Amino acid sequence: MRDIYAVLLEVSSIQQYVFASNKLKENLGASYLVENIFENNLRTVLEGLDKKCEFERWKIDPQKITICDQESESEVGYIGGGNALIFFKNRDTAVKLGRKWSQNLLINAPGLRPSIAIGKVDCSVLADKEKFPVTIGKLFDKLRENKLSYQPQTTFSRHGITAECYHTGLSAEFFDKNSNNYVSSVTMKKMKSSQAATDNLHEKFSSVLKGYRFPTELNELGQTEGDSHISIAHIDGNRMGSRFQECKTLEEIRLLSISVKKATEDSFANLLKLIVQKIEQDDNIFDYFNFNGILLPIRPIIMGGDDITFVSPGKLGIYFAEIFMKEFSEKIVSDKKKLSSCAGVAITKTKYPFYRGYQLAEGLCGNAKKMAYKETDSSWIDFHIAYGGFSGSIENIRRTNYTGSRGNLCLRPYRVTGKVDYCSLSECIRGINHLSGIKFDPEEKSWFDFDESKWPRSKLKEFREVLTMGAPVSEKFITEMEYRHRTLPDIKGHPECKNTGWIYDRREIGSKVTPYFDMLELMEIYPLKLLFREGDI
């Protein structure tokens, strides 16, 4: 069999590149540039080297591999998961692709950091279930080695005499008429791409948008008067790296890449359908955002193969993430295994540094994944409301600010799909409904108070403070409320909890945790009145 040459392409520090600015337009433009590093930039370079290259064939006919035919000089192996794999018959052409693609990015997407690995491959390996994983593994090892040994220069060095870009600190080489300031080439390229990003998104989801539009500024999300909070939600598929590594042939990788991307886009499309339906049929949604008649209360920033990052008004982020995760878990992909995901939702002030907010959401998602690793086929969500200026990792924030004298104040993260127990988000929401004392009347199509047992806001606030104190104080307060016919919600599997306020924490031997603190914090932001459409609580 003949040898061919595999070129593995990757771009590093994508999140830092996309979320470097506090301006949503720049984030959108940066995301669009990242999305097109393979689809447009790579296509332009590859078709320049091989006029006969059929760039989309790997998607249209994933079972057919043409690089081993006499006529083909190049072929796209697959594109997905932040990587692109290209095959060539000629090594010089393979090297030339890496060089020209890097040059293309330097001009059209300055600031991105490309990494490249090239290796010789036997044609027979591509369909060999034993040899293919080993060969591709070696290529990824080489890519990892190249990334560690060399960091390319992807922005022009600062000049001796120049103004600084107020966004990036780089040399300000272009004049921006909108801001009346000089900006760097990196910032200018992002801003120029923002409209293309919005147009592309509207076209992709035109069938479900019904004429509604996505906002292009953070202050257009519909924050309500007196509440300037936004939600930054980062959702990532579970164990997707392992599932791609388990693929035994190039065909399996192609099919999985195509089907996972479709599952993500279809899940988001279904979320959009729900939002549009709520706007047109459920006036309760307007309690949680200000609607101007056309702009939706959500804007996706990154939508990769198995991950998505979006922003929304503060009170809708957890609800939207929950809907997406449930939709995602119902999709079937090529390997016939269930999909699951984890989410982190950071609820911050609109003017809070956006990259720090994203880092917080990413850290929350990572915290949720720790639970997902322990339970197969389960989806988890973690959230944090940034009332003040807490900084550091989510573990340090909770250790410092969310620990009472009796134990942990945070039970989160919560399970969204999988078995139902006291760690399920549905159980937490049921508890919120109990404390809020409201119920939906299907005949009147309106909400009303249960009775006099509803907890007043003053007592809920007092209970929150009591939970930070010792056990005797908590139990005394709970007993006092029972005399006034105000009981705590039942905790599934822990009947004693409603009398003491605490249970043993399964995450830490010997420690205790309260499920009620999360309920008290979440009930301020969770859109309870939107739930009756999906089923009574």
* pLDDT tens digits, one per residue of 206-225: 999 999 999 999 889 988 87
- For residue 194, being part of any structural domain is answered with no
- The average confidence (pLDDT) of the chain is 87
**161 belongs to a structural domain:** no
22 pLDDT band, cuts 50/70/90, is: confident
What is the pLDDT averaged over residues 19-44? 85
Query: Contact at 8 Å (CB) between 384 and 357?
Result: no
Higher pLDDT, 317 or 447: 317
User: Domain range for residue 367?
Assistant: 205-401
pLDDT tens sequence across 393-415: 788 888 888 888 788 999 999 99
| pLDDT of 477 higher than 80 | yes
In this predicted structure, the answer to whether residue 45 has a pLDDT above a threshold of 60 is yes
Distance CA 139, CA 91 (A): 15
Structural domain tally of the chain? Answer: 3
pLDDT digits (tens, 9 = 90+) for 284-304: 899 899 998 999 999 999 988
Type of residue found at 404? G
Tell me, yes or no, whether 241 and 364 share the same domain: yes
pLDDT in tens, 66-102: 888 777 889 999 998 788 999 999 999 999 999 999 9
pLDDT band at 258 (very low <50, low <70, confident <90, very high): very high
Which of these three, 381, 401, 421, is where a domain ends? 401
Closest CA to 121 of 229, 249, 278, 252: 249
pLDDT at 124 over 50: yes
Domain end: 360, 381, 401, which one? 401
In this prediction, residue 167 carries a pLDDT of 67
What pLDDT is recorded for position 352?
85
Buried b (16+ CB within 10 A) or exposed e, 226-262: ebbbbbbbbbbbbbbeebbeebebbbbbbbbbbbbbe
pLDDT higher than threshold 80 for residue 35? yes
Q: 214 and 132 in one domain?
A: no
* For residue 34, pLDDT beyond 70: yes
Residues 16, 112 share a domain: yes
387 and 248 in one domain?
yes
Confidence category of residue 39, pLDDT binned at 50, 70, 90: confident
Cα distance between residue 138 and residue 191, in whole Å: 39
Q: What's the pTM?
A: 0.91
Confidence of residue 182 (pLDDT cuts 50, 70, 90): confident
Cα 442 to the center of its chain, rounded Å: 35
The per-residue pLDDT for 298 is 97
- Reply yes or no on whether the pLDDT at 536 is more than 60: no
537 domain-assigned: yes
Domain boundary among 82, 117, 149: 149
370 & 445 share domain? no
The helix (H) or strand (E) run that includes residue 176 is: strand 174-176
Q: Note whether residue 177 is domain-resident.
A: no
CATH assignment at residue 87: 3.30.70.270
| Residue-wise pLDDT tens digits, 370-380 | 999 998 889 99
Query: Per-residue pLDDT for 173 more than 80?
Result: no
Q: Could you tell me if 238 and 360 lie in one domain?
A: yes
Give every CB contact of residue 110 below 8 A, 6+ residues apart in sequence.
Answer: 154, 155, 156, 185, 186, 189
Confidence of residue 447 (pLDDT cuts 50, 70, 90): low
How big is the CA angle at 227 (ends 348 and 271), to the nearest 5 degrees?
A: 70
Residues pairing with 450 in the sheet: none
C-beta neighbour count of 314 within 10 angstroms? 27
81: phi > 0 → left, psi -120 to 50 → alpha, else beta; which?
left
382, 255: one domain: yes
Peptide bond into 413 cis (omega under 30): yes
Question: Could you read off the pLDDT of 497-520 as tens digits, one per residue?
Answer: 989 999 988 877 778 999 999 999
Per-residue pLDDT tens over the stretch 451-463: 666 788 899 999 9
pLDDT at 304: 80
Q: Which helix (H) or strand (E) holds 76?
A: strand 74-80
Are residues 421 and 386 both part of a single domain?
no
Domain assignment of residue 406, yes or no: no
Contacts of 85 (CB under 8 A, 6+ apart): 6, 7, 8, 9, 76, 77, 78, 79, 136, 139
155 occurs within a structural domain: no
Ordered alpha helix ranges (H), 109-231: 131-149, 185-204, 206-209
What percent of the chain has a predicted confidence (pLDDT) above 70? 92
Higher pLDDT, 145 or 269: 269
Sheet bearing 74-80, strands edge to edge = 74-80, 83-88, 3-12, 113-122
* More confidently predicted of 58 and 147: 58
- Of 112, 101, 128, whose CA–CA distance to 8 is shortest? 101
Banded model confidence at residue 534, pLDDT cuts 50, 70, 90: very low
- In this structure, the answer to whether residues 309 and 456 fall within a common structural domain is no
The candidate with the shortest Cα–Cα distance to 242, out of 365, 127, 117, 340, is: 340
Residue 172 in any domain: the answer is no
Identify the residue whose tokens are 């760039």.
Answer: 55
Helix (H) / strand (E) element for 343: namely: strand 341-349
Q: Once rounded to an integer, what is the mean pLDDT over residues 428-435?
A: 91
Helix (H) or strand (E) holding 440: strand 438-441
Are 374 and 226 contained in the same domain? Answer: yes
